[in-house]
């Protein structure tokens, strides 16, 4: 498979503590790679080095063959890697359209002054959400009136709308109820169908097995192993997370 993202020999040292050592993996287009691991295993540190929040002590990150290491989080986003955080980074009091365009709002001129083009932004939001299989009940309503799954979909819609090639999702189902977790899983499959690569961080085993094309298990900052879901089981993954097996 061709490579969308390549992570090579990532290492991160905080003071005398080596949080991540020699992490290497790839993500292909339309592929979902799960980073699994217990708390403190280094999952968050790895994705922060990919998204530009942390600079690695050693190692490189490539997107479509271009070196990303050393770029700012903004530049990494522009290059096509969108990170969806647990807190969703949505403004609850704004409608889906404004959330989709937050920071890049569209305006039209009236009486020589720029006015927010709410209608176009709303229509675009409805459109992108539809491509994710989600019907927005009331496009003019603030997103706080939507379900957790629908809100998650807006965050994902933002990534699609701005043409991210790779989406990083940090525990996307952690704060959701069971039906909404299913919605998010369905969203991941639709994203994959669009050719978007996904790095999913999770320690929820059913989610891991439902979403992953490959599972990379981190334990104490190193890759404890890499498996395809079909060739492993819950028990082995848990053992690897605990650092028992290589």
Partner 1 sequence: MDHVVQRNGTSFVKSLLNAWSWLFLVLILGFFEVYAQTQTGSTFLFRVYNLQSIAVAASQILLLALGLTLVIVAGHIDLSIAFSSGLASVVIALVIRAGGVDAGWGIVALAAFAGLAAAAIVGVVNGWLVAWLAVPSFIGTLGTYGVARGAALIMAGGATVSIRNEHARELGNGTLLGFPIPLVTAMVLALICHYVLKHTRFGAHTYALGANPASVERAGVDVKRHLIMLFVISALTAGMGGLIYTFRFSAGAANSGEPILLYAVAAVFIGGASLTGGQGTISGTVIGAFIIAVIQFGLVFCGLPPYWQFVAVGLVIIVAVLVDQSKDRIVGGKA
Q: How many CA atoms lie within 13 A of 21 on its CB side?
A: 8
Nearer to partner 1, 109 or 231 (CB): 109
- Secondary-structure breakdown of the chain: helix, strand, coil percentages, each rounded to the nearest 5: 35, 30, 35
Structure tokens at 237: 């993954």
* Count of residues touching partner 1 (by CB under 8 A): 22
CB atoms within 10 A of CB 83: 23
Taking CB under 8 A as the criterion, the residue among 130, 144, 189, 228 binding partner 1 is 144
For position 135 contacting partner 1 by CB under 8 A, the verdict is no
Work out how close the CB of 18 gets to partner 1 at its nearest, in angstroms, rounded to a whole number.
29
- Where b means 16+ CB within 10 Å and e means fewer, 176-198 reads beeebbebbbbbbebbbeeebbb
**Which residues, 147 to 166, sit near partner 1 by CB under 8 A?**
none
Would you give the DSSP letter of residue 110?
A: E
Whole-number Cα distances in Å, 212 to 129, 162, 177, 200, 201: 23, 24, 20, 8, 10
> Alpha-carbon distance 74 to 127, whole Å?
26
Work out how close the CB of 58 gets to partner 1 at its nearest, in angstroms, rounded to a whole number.
27
Nearer to partner 1, 121 or 241 (CB): 121
Work out how close the CB of 23 gets to partner 1 at its nearest, in angstroms, rounded to a whole number.
25
> Alpha-carbon distance 46 to 33, whole Å?
13
Nearer to partner 1, 69 or 99 (CB): 99
**Which residues, 41 to 80, sit near partner 1 by CB under 8 A?**
74
**Which residues, 77 to 116, sit near partner 1 by CB under 8 A?**
85, 87, 89-94, 98-99, 102-105, 107, 113-116
- Binding residues for partner 1, per CB under 8 A? 74, 85, 87, 89-94, 98-99, 102-105, 107, 113-116, 144-145
């Amino acid at each position: 498979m061709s490579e969308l993202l390549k992570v090579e020999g990532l290492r991160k040292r905080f003071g005398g503590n080596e949080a991540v050592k020699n992490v290497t993996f790839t993500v292909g287009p339309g592929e979902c790679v799960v980073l699994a691991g217990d708390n403190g295993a280094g999952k968050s540190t790895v994705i922060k080095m990919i998204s530009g929040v942390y600079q690695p002590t050693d190692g490189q990150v490539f997107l479509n063959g271009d070196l990303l290491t050393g770029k700012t989080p903004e530049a990494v986003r522009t290059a096509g890697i969108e990170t969806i955080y647990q807190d969703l980074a949505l403004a609850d009091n704004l409608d889906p359209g404004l959330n989709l365009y937050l920071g890049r709002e569209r305006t039209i001129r009236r009486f020589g002054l720029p006015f927010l083009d709410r209608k176009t932004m709303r229509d675009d939001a409805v459109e992108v959400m539809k491509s994710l299989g989600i019907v927005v009940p009331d496009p003019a309503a603030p997103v706080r009136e939507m379900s957790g799954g629908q809100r998650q979909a807006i965050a994902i819609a933002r990534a699609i709308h701005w043409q991210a090639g790779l989406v990083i999702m940090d525990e996307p189902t952690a704060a959701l109820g069971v039906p909404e977790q299913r919605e998010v899983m369905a969203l991941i499959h639709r994203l994959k169908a669009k050719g978007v690569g996904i790095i999913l961080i999770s320690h929820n085993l059913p989610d891991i097995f439902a979403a992953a094309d490959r599972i990379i298990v981190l334990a104490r900052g190193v890759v404890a192993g890499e498996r395809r879901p079909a060739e492993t089981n819950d028990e082995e993954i848990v053992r690897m997370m605990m650092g028992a097996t290589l």
